[in-house]
Amino acid sequence: MRVAVIGTGYVGLVAGACFASTGNHVIGVDIDDDKINRLRRGEIPIYEPGLETLVREGIEKERLEFSVDLAHGVRESDVIFIAVGTPPNEDGSADLQHVLDVAEGIGRALNGFKIIVDKSTVPVGTASLVTNAIRTRTDHAFTVVSNPEFLKEGDAVNDFLKPERVIIGADDDRGHDTLARLYRPFILKNNRIIHMDVVSAELTKYTANAFLATRISFMNEIARLCERVGADIEHVRQGIGSDSRIGPAFLYAGVGYGGSCFPKDVQAILRTASQYGVDLEIIEATERVNEGQKKVMFEKIAHQYDGGIQGKTFAVWGLSFKPRTDDMREAPSIVIINSLLAAGAEVRAFDPEAMQVARGVFGDTVTLCEDEYETVEGADALVLVSEWNDFRTPDFAKLADRLADRAVFDGRNIWDPEYVRSFGLTYHGVGRKV
């Protein structure tokens, strides 16, 4: 098949490279000149395991090309994916400007029947808006399909090549059949294509993210109770996660959820609901709890230092919003570090992949270090914010030696408190006994 993917970010680039890997011809289109030039040279602008190899293979086999010319992508393709960003507006609703700009461009360039696919996460009713934006600019026939994406940054290629399910929301058979053919190589094993109408598909994506975010906020609330009653959230988590009706995923207490999806998608479903006059009380609480949770680690630090943070130096490990990505959008590290800086502390930080992004976020307000042990040189305490594998078994003797106040704040509960304490360090987790 001939496919265009408009937007070559985390979703568009992965989708394009994966579709090219099964023999399709794919044109990746972006408005960012610099990004397209780098991609043409086989340079990947983001960190995503396995992606570089796939993109380079696609280019070498001449199945994957990149362009800034939307009209070229549209004319040369039968299926056109819209995978541009949908950031939040001031009021929390999804900003559809990029999606509608692309839709207008598609309308102007259409040269025959095409299948247009909303791959971006977009609110209920967007397929109609996209349809109208195209229809007013062309006489050619087309159909708009909703195919929300469920990949996880850090495991995106794997998720795309072996999806747990593919959702196809379409109002005619051509949309259902063509997308099912395109995805067939990825779902041969479990055949999990779920066909539905467009509006249900649009809502499925937001419901999934709101549900996962709710599990996290739920556990963060229970963590607060654990601290009060002297229980350990890690025991509680294992205890409930072993129940097959609950399952073990997304039950981790910590510093709150962040990233480019959960915060914005939770807000966007709340906006949609309020537009339709529906109160989503559970999801409202999910967001409220998360806003509080982002401050929890700083409050623990402030409490430990009795408010005397000024002049202290903190080492921070992990800046991306989660491991295996360099994405720092809505990362809890930003809230924690900015709170420390505002309180007059100095921060020395390290992340295995997000250092370049961090430079853009913090400028020279934070000392960015070469590795995790350089951060603790001259530091008083250590704060772990994202749980990269590299941080799971550190040399605690070295930390005890270098940290002046011998204190560690484990924002993800990855360390065994007793073991850490055996090195003479003070341990602070989330929802665990102090």
Q: Which residues bind ligand NAD (CB under 6 A)?
A: 6-12, 29-32, 35, 83-86, 98, 101-102, 120-121, 149, 151, 153, 260-261
Smallest distance, ligand NAD to C-beta of residue 323, A: 14
Contacts of 361 (CB under 8 A, 6+ apart): 319, 328, 334
What is the Cα–Cα distance from 142 to 238, expressed in whole angstroms? 50
Smallest distance, ligand NAD to C-beta of residue 336, A: 22
Nearer to ligand NAD, 312 or 329 (CB): 329
Phi and psi, residue 152, nearest 5°: -110, 130
Does 226 qualify as catalytic in the annotation? no
Smallest distance, ligand NAD to C-beta of residue 390, A: 22
Contacts of 54 (CB under 8 A, 6+ apart): 17, 18, 20, 21, 157
Nearer to ligand NAD, 186 or 415 (CB): 186
Nearer to ligand NAD, 101 or 221 (CB): 101
Nearer to ligand NAD, 57 or 69 (CB): 69
Element spanning 368, H or E: strand 367-368
**Catalytic residue (one of 18, 226, 261, 369):** 261
Element spanning 54, H or E: helix 51-60
In the bound state, the residue with its beta carbon closest to ligand NAD is: 9
SS3 316: strand
Closest CA to 336 of 361, 364, 311: 361
Phi and psi, residue 243, nearest 5°: -80, 120
Smallest distance, ligand NAD to C-beta of residue 263, A: 11
Smallest distance, ligand NAD to C-beta of residue 13, A: 7
Closest CA to 378 of 396, 346, 404: 404
Contacts of 416 (CB under 8 A, 6+ apart): none
Nearer to ligand NAD, 73 or 256 (CB): 73
Question: Which residues are annotated as catalytic?
Answer: 261
